[in-house]
Amino acid sequence: MDRKQTFSLWYVLAALVGLILVQEFGATRHTQTLTYSEFKRALAAGKLDDVLIADGVATGNLRAEGLDEILPKEKIEALKRAGGEHGFATVLIEDPNLVAQLDAAKVSYGSVRESKWLGALLSWVAPALVFFGIWWVLMKRMGGGMGHAGMLEIGKSKAKVYMQTETGVTFKDVAGIDEAREELMEVVEFLKNPDRYKRLGGKIPKGVLIVGAPGTGKTLLAKAVAGEAGVPFLSLSGSEFVEMFVGVGAARVRDLFEQAAAKAPCIVFIDELDALGKARGVGLSGGHEEHEQTLNQLLVEMDGFDTNRGVIIMAATNRPEILDPALLRPGRFDRHVAIDRPDLNGRRQILEVHVKHVTLAPNVDLAALAARTPGFAGADLANLVNEATLRAAKRDKQAVEMTDFEEALDRIVAGLEKKNRVMNPMERKFVAFHEAGHAVVAELRRNTDRVSKVSIIPRGIAALGYTQQSPTEDRYLMRRSELLDRIDVLLGGRVAEMLVFDDVSTGAENDLQRATDMAHHMVTHYGMSETLGLATFDSRPTPLFLSGPTMPEPRSFSERTAEQIDAEVRRILEESRERVTQTLMTHRATLDALAALLLEKEVVDRVMLDELMAAAATAPGQSRAAAVPLQST
């Protein structure tokens, strides 16, 4: 149960207990019911102080002394336990002498006409008001998950308003994405000096859409804009418009733009826009789905918004391909700022930002770390620095050393080291020759990345060893010869197992999957098959910034073409296997030496590998990759 709900329920229980206690023990007066005969005896004995007659019932007070001869013992004890005044009540019967007896005993008496509707009001309306108040407090407390004001304000926007000093982020904290930063610095200028841009008749852009892979700094850029602009910054996620009640999303969009108009000039930032702006489609329910109503309201609000008032809409997403085209047209999101993964210089700049408050040892080379982290986004690099710092602190070091960064990189890329996983000697030999096969082929191919480390220490869930390669530069295009060399490296482990043991293991599963995918892309995406020509055969939309499996779609080619594709993929893999077999047979001594070194050291770094390859190059019968001609496909 939610903590706030539990807290509210305790309040309700306490209120109920309090009502019961007040009802039972709050009054000091205790009323004792008397029979009419007991009432007449008390009257005759002079034990009545006063009498009030109303609707056939007589009430009043009894004198405390001398009641033993008039009332039963149990009623006297009840009066004593109650303390205070001894009240009584009795039902009257037809008695014409009662008034004369009251006068004779000198008892003060009277009569009152009781209002029945007032009693009903007090007995029904008052408790109802009490319980309504309790319900109101309860709903206010439980409404924390639906907004600050609970159920009655569910249609209000959940936007959080930040001012300049609250984000703590400026453009100085953004590195590695200079072009995107300059584009958004211009947005800040729009807000600070609007007349400069409007004097020639120009209009400030309505919206800025930031697109990029996860972790590249989209939200960080938005926070930097908030910190630099010095204007109110309304921030919320696209999913916060979605609620279980119909119409709430559209109401929240309206309320958001009303807030923005009231706080102009300001910036409205919608994170994860794809949750709100997914492309509309014709379904069973037509255009009346809650999601489409919310999106339609957003489109209308952005159309009718006057940018000269100084309100700019910013949004971020990593799935721009699924956004509705109406959102992306000029007049709504006028500017699109794409953030790619940082290049070599960008990664070095990002590392410099994240190590500002970290004590580094003199041997830390950020340029070398940037070179060994291709494909890392800003969030990945921040995690790398943090992991290295934690490892150094765990070992009570005075500064973070290069070895800490290297171990943190291995931890992130390959997984947690499994020191307790014990392999039998035959498995270790299989793993050693498998990884040696990858490394030797990578060293003997012209178009592959250099090997930085080879290890047979188990890591992660299923990795029994790994060969780590580090590119010398960032690449944006892959030639056909480079793809073929990469396939050769992937098949090096399986071929080495077959060559040495005349048997194969299950350790090459991931290598074979990656090699098959690469060969399949060469045929179906890149037009690198002479048999099938320049046509492409895969119409599935490819995510721009996300990786992972895509939804299968019906193929748009014939069965015969499918057979040709399969034949081409098999041919590429088979020719690669033959090339790798020839390479490893020619350099068998190098393969054996590297496997033996791995069995001894478990980890072979770049320096040890250079020494081994240099010794192998001078040995008789060994040659470089030029001796292994690359077969054409």
Q: What is the pLDDT of residues 133-174, one digit of tens each?
A: 777 766 665 554 444 445 445 555 555 655 545 666 778 878
* Position 629 pLDDT exceeds 80: no
Q: What is the pLDDT of residue 244?
A: 55
* Position 484 pLDDT exceeds 80: yes
* Position 355 pLDDT exceeds 70: yes
User: Domain spanning 3-118 has what CATH number?
Assistant: 3.30.720.210
* Position 22 pLDDT exceeds 60: no
The residues pairing with 363 across neighbouring beta strands, listed in sequence order, are none
Strand pairing report for 335-339 and 207-212? parallel
Q: What is the mean pLDDT of residues 558-581?
A: 92
* 4 vs 310: which has the higher pLDDT: 310
Closest CA to 66 of 89, 86, 81, 82: 86
Q: What is the pLDDT of residue 464?
A: 82
Distance (Å, rounded) from C-alpha 7 to C-alpha 143?
13
* Position 26 pLDDT exceeds 60: no
User: Domain spanning 344-414 has what CATH number?
Assistant: 1.10.8.60
Closest CA to 573 of 561, 562, 563, 581: 581
Q: Kindly report the CA angle at 464 between 448 and 572, in degrees rounded to 5?
A: 40
* Position 380 pLDDT exceeds 70: yes
Q: Hey, is 37 helix, strand or coil?
A: helix
- Please list the residue range(s) of the chain that carry CATH number 3.30.720.210: 3-118
Q: What is the pLDDT of residue 66?
A: 65
CA dihedral for 556, 558, 559, 562, sign (positive or negative): negative
Superfamily of domain 425-627: Peptidase M41 (1.20.58.760)
* Position 631 pLDDT exceeds 50: no
Mean pLDDT of the chain: 78
What does the pLDDT look like over 391-422, one tens digit per residue? 999 999 999 999 999 888 888 887 777 666 67
Taking a C-beta distance cutoff of 8 angstroms, is the pair 59, 52 a contact?
Answer: yes
Q: What is the pLDDT of residue 486?
A: 94
Q: Hey, is 567 helix, strand or coil?
A: helix
* Beta strand spans in 147-239 (E): 160-162, 207-212, 233-237
Closest CA to 567 of 536, 526, 530, 512: 530
Torsion of CA 76, 78, 81, 82, to 10 degrees: -110
Confidence of residue 540 (pLDDT cuts 50, 70, 90): low
Q: What is the mean pLDDT of residues 510-518?
A: 93
Instruction: Name the least confident of 21-30, 346-355, 513-522, 589-598.
Output: 21-30
* 290 vs 491: which has the higher pLDDT: 491
* 499 vs 331: which has the higher pLDDT: 499
Confidence of residue 307 (pLDDT cuts 50, 70, 90): low
* Position 27 pLDDT exceeds 50: no
* Position 516 pLDDT exceeds 90: yes
* 220 vs 87: which has the higher pLDDT: 220
CA 508 to chain CA centroid, Å, is 34
Q: What is the pLDDT of residue 284?
A: 42
If one counts every other C-beta atom within 10 angstroms of the C-beta of residue 259, the result is: 18
What does the pLDDT look like over 62-79, one tens digit per residue? 776 766 667 777 777 776
Q: What is the pLDDT of residue 512?
A: 94
- Please list the residue range(s) of the chain that carry CATH number 3.40.50.300: 160-339
- DSSP secondary structure string for all residues of 336-351: EEEEPPP-HHHHHHHH
- Please list the residue range(s) of the chain that carry CATH number 1.10.8.60: 344-414
Q: Give the whole-number percent of the chain exceeding pLDDT 90.
A: 19
- Please list the residue range(s) of the chain that carry CATH number 1.20.58.760: 425-627
Distance (Å, rounded) from C-alpha 351 to C-alpha 357?
11
Taking a C-beta distance cutoff of 8 angstroms, is the pair 66, 125 a contact?
Answer: no
Torsion of CA 512, 514, 515, 519, to 10 degrees: 130
Q: What is the mean pLDDT of residues 310-327?
A: 85
What does the pLDDT look like over 89-134, one tens digit per residue? 787 777 777 777 777 777 777 766 555 555 555 556 666 777 777 7
Q: Give the whole-number percent of the chain exceeding pLDDT 70.
A: 75
Q: What is the pLDDT of residue 141?
A: 59
Active centre residues (catalytic)? 435
Count Cα neighbours of 465 within 13 Å in the Cβ-side half-sphere. 31
The residues pairing with 61 across neighbouring beta strands, listed in sequence order, are 50, 87
* Position 448 pLDDT exceeds 60: yes
Q: What is the pLDDT of residue 93?
A: 79
Q: What is the pLDDT of residue 180?
A: 83
Q: What is the pLDDT of residue 23?
A: 53
* Position 555 pLDDT exceeds 60: yes
What does the pLDDT look like over 228-256, one tens digit per residue? 877 788 888 877 776 655 667 778 888 88
* 5 vs 600: which has the higher pLDDT: 600
Q: What is the pLDDT of residue 160?
A: 61
Q: What is the mean pLDDT of residues 321-336?
A: 85
Q: What is the mean pLDDT of residues 366-394?
A: 90
Confidence of residue 628 (pLDDT cuts 50, 70, 90): very low
Matching CATH number, 160-339, of 2.60.34.10, 3.40.50.300, 3.40.50.700, 3.20.20.120: 3.40.50.300
